[in-house]
Structure 1
């Protein structure tokens, strides 16, 4: 007689029915993904074309959905009760056999295996009976077409919140079950190995499937897992029911409280049982969850939104799978990498594809309209339901935005030759991940191979209790958050350990409609870099400003020298500039902030950068928020860095192709232009500076002053001539004057090395005179005496030469004046 028949006969003697059906498939604790492959929003890797205005959803439709949800809850409760009944079926027989000479389980083992299960069965039996009774009182018959409105009204009167609140108030019963769960599973496993009778029972427990009389076979462990799964599903069920319950409904407050209590219970359970779920590594540490969040995983050119979990010894990448009907939510395993020996490499940014930019703009524009739509809805059921639909679409579009927008790349290389690439929208977030991973990898962790099935299944509970930061579109409105234009002027930095080319990256948080980040160009190779560069950000819901100081290296990877977060206080910020000094690691960055609140307009299409060449200098300076345009400063800094000893600097021409490339770069992307400037031939850099002044629509020295300057050259007394020329200098427009002074001081420094570069003041004046000083054009408002061609050339060269000879030229002011409040004249240093 086989072991199974022996077990059936033994249990039959105790009146315990055990049936066997070889055609019935076993239901495992961790079910495989359904063949139909229902995609969740997290798996959407393309942009879905949502309508501009959501389909109206009236109170009738919302209440109908609520009834559907409630009926689904009843169906789920009935399935769960049948599973508990199947679990309790052998309890009496096993308890009775414990007193015999050949017990299957001892009394203590029976108590351990079925601990709190009868109480859970009674709790849900009472809840399910009450819910069915109230539903049947309102839904005794299916409504005909003429009864639809009456049924909707009945749905609005259906009150079940007290039932859910009463059930949740007793949810503490699950605490004891969860504390005992691991011991119960261990007893089942141990007894199944030692006693064939119990093994047969544990592998073939049956449950009815309701009215169809079909039978489902479970393992004992699978049935023991059901309450563990149900406690998390209770929170999800409450969340779904609350979403279909209008705010004005009598159940809304009670359901909110029940959801709060359920989440609080889950959070407490997670904290108390965390240590029990940890794995002890070979060097005595515990495997713990250190960080988690959403990232974009790139594989074969395709972007996929994933949930990344960083444990003490490994990185786990998962894909969230929404539940199908009657099944729990699941995380599907994608890949994992041990941290031991893991190499990291990050790339500053990745150019978005041409088709991604318009798709991003479309998503942002629709998000902008949807976010403002709930504010315009009328109060009542219709406004509430329409707002709920808008929020749902916002969540879906947010997922698309998170998938399309990332441009910072983090590459992971394992000693086993496995590599993965992750993309981040924020350099600050990337650096936090990089720091967290790097800290763990440097500890030389020896990895214990993980139980991936258990590890992945635990992610559902982590997600329920920790709430990952996927909340841009549903962020709570804060009256102190910023909405309008935020101007940030980056002045300078100090504290570098060695000279470097450094840039500052600026990011703000908010609702994610705009590219809320910007960065300065890379400074000249210096230990005290200066930028005096202003960036403008359109912000919506901003509360924090994040700064990173990045050093540009010759290799493929730049280095983040430090980072800091600054809280944006709408009460202290205003339309006047406020100066701050922030501590970014060992680097102190000085900046000014100005905030102008105003309603935002819908995001416009990404306009190309305003060109620099052939544009009036006042327009360029105003756009950049400076007095000396960046193209002038960057070229001057680069020449002074490596061209002061170049023979014939400014006289010998550079490569024409390289000059054209640099000009195009300055017209399109300042940071790219500065990067190319670092590698270009220094004579090409000097030619770009000359070309900029030569192509100005109006010369740097105003044409209306040409004759006045020509007359001052005739003054024989040197001091009198100098006073007259400096007086005329003060009549220049501010941008022209400060740019002219900036160039003059630079050329004086070049001439100081004339013994090496062979460029005297007169040589430099001969090169720059025709570009900086031009005579007025006849017939364009000029009615003075005509100047001969030979006289024009002499005036152009001599004006620049006489200014270069002046030893007390005023200093140039590089950036525009940023007035601060009277009480804020002293810098404030914020140590982060």
Structure 2
């Protein structure tokens, strides 16, 4: 199916009529009528778990019992966070119910949250009591055996109140019906119902839909019986808890049998006997397994990846999923590819779509009443096309069976979240049992946490909450790396994709404390979030994400002055600055503008890059200091002309490509590019008008007076010239410090760089005064640079413009 048809299907599922050709579907993997087969969520054949070996000693059983109890406690904590997330909007909805424009009526609010507060209170009481007993036992376990830890009464008390779930289960279908109906009819409720989050202790956020959270209690009531069975199997018969746990298990099983007999309409994913398979994550990705890009809904379960195609049904009927492929997680190998160039044809198509989206968006903003219904569907259609065409990052999946699949995303941040989630399950060594694919695919509608692709046009909100204009991000430095690495920073913004929403710094030198001082600029429309990743670059082995963080963008806290922040990305600490300038946006450009750096005035290059020392100078200096300080004749022996021209062309077109090439070419080519840059400046680094003054200053006999005069003349240079010259001088001083190895003394370095950095005025080109003899010219050029190289108190160079003019640093822990 092509991209256009997938967009049409999605719009029709939202009851938006779009003229399209009839679709010819591939033969289904399963018959249509079988796809609608629904099973009870509370079937008890899943309780036939493998028996725990009884040959182990009572001490070993008690150790296993303690592990089970700790797992139950952790599971209860997660469940309580989910119930809290489910209840978060309840108060606001109750308050809205009494207004003239309620989101839900009071009756609907009562239906959606029926018995949920009571379930939360019941499990909070159980969790607190269990945690207290486990904590007390762990503090005294050196003096007590596991027989002293008694918790059976807590489980018995919990099961005695399990009847609360009966009311919830009976009401479940009504609650889901209200959620689905209001999600379709009310944009305010749709935003709430599809963007719910739960925060864990490590401050990571899990996203849910309201329907997915409503399913959690159904799943939990089955798990209660399962954990009781696990706990009983690890409890010796002579333990004081054994009788209580037996009774709790009997009551729990009886409750489930009663529920199944009275309600056959509830649905649950059918699991293989003895296996509890849970949905861990789902979302829309671009499947590129067959060299064709198709938008697919990917489901990550505890033991497998399931790729499906969403088949939207007509009004009043339930959506269905069609099976595409699945891969067991056992032995699965992942390969993250962090950069992939788009073809020229794709660039042209993206530009066309973005331009149309931009103009439609402008029309919607100025003519909401007359155009919103018709044009909004076109906007969503084009967003779906962009979603399928734009991905440049991919995750390759390789199964031990020889099967391989690939999916792509536009966001490196989201792709890394998928990689982390899959990798965590792989390292848990979960054994895959062949799934019932029919039931698993059928259950996706009920289990899904994401109902539709992430379309910005479907997110309601006030315009003042969004960022619209230019967002600038200055990346300074990072620390906390566990080992030296070549690191780059990837920055992403959200909002409409009229413009590029992702940019990367150049890669640092091999270091424990990388620094960039590089400014990235974004044209944003509808931006609310900034995502930042630190990535370690590795030759041939794929890049590795060292850490990531998301920052909420608030227009009220950002302005035209730089605001400095420190982000904690795991163990890596990144320092950056932000500024924001709101303004109307121009239509997107067909090509990304490239600014050449060679043969361009240094002030122009510095202004384009938002720095004081151009990146070409800093990158070459860093590379020489990384691997060329011991090279004999560095800066005297040049590299090959072809390598130098290759690097020059790269710096003129793509900084990241240039820095990558720096590391693969001979270091003498790097030093040759640096010399070439200064040699090809239209105006020398030290302004021509200072030549005569510097020559006169060299004749001053008193050394102190000469130093004052020379430093004063240097201070009169424009900022980019002065700081670049100081930056180069400090570097050349470090080179000369190793002259016993590299044979490059201060005089040698002055002889090499003098003619490039300082030139005499040319008579007839606006300059007057006495002419300079050619021999005297060379002497002055060399002696000026030599004098500065011998100074021990040169001012420090500032490589970038100050970005922290808005007060003290703000630290964000992520």
Report the TM-score, using the length of structure 1 for normalisation.
Answer: 0.68
> Residues 621, 461 of structure 1: CA spacing in aligned structure 2 closer, same or farther, 3 A cutoff?
same
The residue aligned with 2:653 is 668
The residue aligned with 1:8 is none
The residue aligned with 1:586 is 571
Deviation at 1:601, TM superposition (A): 2.0
The residue aligned with 1:477 is 461
The residue aligned with 1:270 is 215
1:506 aligns with 2:491: yes
Deviations 1:797-829 (A, max 9, x none): 1111111111111110001123523xx2x3222
Deviation at 1:321, TM superposition (A): 2.2
> Residues 754, 378 of structure 1: CA spacing in aligned structure 2 closer, same or farther, 3 A cutoff?
closer
The residue aligned with 1:449 is 434
The equivalent position to 2:731 in structure 1, one of 708, 730, 746, is 746
**Within-5 A mapping of 1:274-353:** 274=219, 277-278=268-269, 286-323=276-313, 329-353=319-343
1:790 aligns with 2:761: no
In the aligned structure 1, how far is the partner of 2:670 from the partner of 2:299?
A: 48
Deviation at 1:391, TM superposition (A): 1.5
* 3-state DSSP of counterpart to 2:522: strand
> Residues 460, 38 of structure 1: CA spacing in aligned structure 2 closer, same or farther, 3 A cutoff?
farther
> Residues 554, 819 of structure 1: CA spacing in aligned structure 2 closer, same or farther, 3 A cutoff?
closer
> Residues 729, 166 of structure 1: CA spacing in aligned structure 2 closer, same or farther, 3 A cutoff?
closer
Deviation at 1:237, TM superposition (A): 8.1
1:427 aligns with 2:372: no
* 3-state DSSP of counterpart to 2:456: coil
In the aligned structure 1, how far is the partner of 2:475 from the partner of 2:415?
A: 22
In the aligned structure 1, how far is the partner of 2:764 from the partner of 2:276?
A: 86
In the aligned structure 2, how far is the partner of 1:257 from the partner of 1:688?
A: 56
The residue aligned with 1:375 is 365
The equivalent position to 1:525 in structure 2, one of 510, 513, 529, is 510
> Residues 477, 690 of structure 1: CA spacing in aligned structure 2 closer, same or farther, 3 A cutoff?
same
Deviation at 1:570, TM superposition (A): 1.6
Contact 1:491–1:533 (Cα < 8 Å) also in 2: yes
1:360 aligns with 2:350: yes
In the aligned structure 1, how far is the partner of 2:109 from the partner of 2:472?
A: 51
The equivalent position to 2:805 in structure 1, one of 791, 815, 820, is 820
* 3-state DSSP of counterpart to 1:473: helix
1:439 aligns with 2:424: yes
The residue aligned with 2:550 is 565
In the aligned structure 2, how far is the partner of 1:787 from the partner of 1:388?
A: 76
Deviations 1:439-470 (A, max 9, x none): 0011111111111112112223345x743452
The residue aligned with 1:774 is 759
The residue aligned with 2:610 is 625
Contact 1:368–1:513 (Cα < 8 Å) also in 2: yes
* 3-state DSSP of counterpart to 1:286: coil
In the aligned structure 2, how far is the partner of 1:230 from the partner of 1:38?
A: 37
Q: Which is greater in Rg?
A: 1
> Residues 495, 281 of structure 1: CA spacing in aligned structure 2 closer, same or farther, 3 A cutoff?
farther
1:689 aligns with 2:674: yes
Deviation at 1:343, TM superposition (A): 0.7
Contact 2:209–2:450 (Cα < 8 Å) also in 1: no
In the aligned structure 1, how far is the partner of 2:210 from the partner of 2:559?
A: 44
> Residues 806, 38 of structure 1: CA spacing in aligned structure 2 closer, same or farther, 3 A cutoff?
closer
In the aligned structure 2, how far is the partner of 1:388 from the partner of 1:600?
A: 24
* 3-state DSSP of counterpart to 1:800: helix
In the aligned structure 1, how far is the partner of 2:446 from the partner of 2:767?
A: 81
In the aligned structure 2, how far is the partner of 1:281 from the partner of 1:322?
A: 28
Deviations 1:534-573 (A, max 9, x none): 1111112222211111111234211111111112222121
Report the TM-score, using the length of structure 2 for normalisation.
Answer: 0.70
In the aligned structure 2, how far is the partner of 1:639 from the partner of 1:167?
A: 72
**Within-5 A mapping of 1:533-612:** 533-612=518-597
* 3-state DSSP of counterpart to 1:685: helix
In the aligned structure 1, how far is the partner of 2:805 from the partner of 2:478?
A: 20
Structure 1's unaligned 5+ residue stretches are: 1-36, 49-61, 66-82, 84-163, 176-227, 248-252
Deviation at 1:324, TM superposition (A): 6.5
Contact 1:363–1:401 (Cα < 8 Å) also in 2: yes
> Residues 400, 39 of structure 1: CA spacing in aligned structure 2 closer, same or farther, 3 A cutoff?
closer
The equivalent position to 1:467 in structure 2, one of 451, 467, 470, is 451
* 3-state DSSP of counterpart to 2:722: helix
* 3-state DSSP of counterpart to 1:707: helix
In the aligned structure 2, how far is the partner of 1:786 from the partner of 1:765?
A: 23
**Within-5 A mapping of 1:198-277:** 270-274=215-219, 277=268
Deviation at 1:472, TM superposition (A): 1.5
> Residues 626, 326 of structure 1: CA spacing in aligned structure 2 closer, same or farther, 3 A cutoff?
closer
Deviation at 1:513, TM superposition (A): 2.2
Deviations 1:586-611 (A, max 9, x none): 11111111111122222122233111
In the aligned structure 1, how far is the partner of 2:288 from the partner of 2:193?
A: 40
In the aligned structure 2, how far is the partner of 1:477 from the partner of 1:548?
A: 28
* 3-state DSSP of counterpart to 2:379: helix
Contact 1:703–1:775 (Cα < 8 Å) also in 2: yes
* 3-state DSSP of counterpart to 1:444: coil
1:760 aligns with 2:760: no
Contact 1:315–1:337 (Cα < 8 Å) also in 2: yes
The residue aligned with 2:142 is none
* 3-state DSSP of counterpart to 2:400: coil
> Residues 771, 552 of structure 1: CA spacing in aligned structure 2 closer, same or farther, 3 A cutoff?
same
In the aligned structure 2, how far is the partner of 1:724 from the partner of 1:751?
A: 24
Contact 1:44–1:400 (Cα < 8 Å) also in 2: no
1:400 aligns with 2:400: no
1:706 aligns with 2:697: no
> Residues 592, 632 of structure 1: CA spacing in aligned structure 2 closer, same or farther, 3 A cutoff?
same
Deviation at 1:643, TM superposition (A): 0.5
The equivalent position to 1:643 in structure 2, one of 628, 631, 649, is 628
Alignment coverage as a number of residue pairs: 611
Contact 1:329–1:460 (Cα < 8 Å) also in 2: yes
* 3-state DSSP of counterpart to 1:374: helix
**Within-5 A mapping of 1:131-170:** none
Contact 1:413–1:420 (Cα < 8 Å) also in 2: yes
Deviation at 1:274, TM superposition (A): 4.0
1:831 aligns with 2:799: no
Deviation at 1:583, TM superposition (A): 0.4
> Residues 274, 470 of structure 1: CA spacing in aligned structure 2 closer, same or farther, 3 A cutoff?
farther
Contact 2:3–2:388 (Cα < 8 Å) also in 1: no
In the aligned structure 2, how far is the partner of 1:320 from the partner of 1:489?
A: 41
In the aligned structure 2, how far is the partner of 1:488 from the partner of 1:257?
A: 30
Contact 1:318–1:331 (Cα < 8 Å) also in 2: yes
In the aligned structure 1, how far is the partner of 2:193 from the partner of 2:686?
A: 75
Contact 2:182–2:189 (Cα < 8 Å) also in 1: no
State the 4+ residue runs in structure 1 displaced beyond 6 angstroms.
37-40, 164-172, 228-240, 253-259, 324-327
Deviations 1:361-405 (A, max 9, x none): 1111211221222222264xxx2xx31121111111111111111
Contact 2:2–2:294 (Cα < 8 Å) also in 1: no
In the aligned structure 1, how far is the partner of 2:659 from the partner of 2:326?
A: 39
* 3-state DSSP of counterpart to 1:467: coil
> Residues 565, 783 of structure 1: CA spacing in aligned structure 2 closer, same or farther, 3 A cutoff?
same
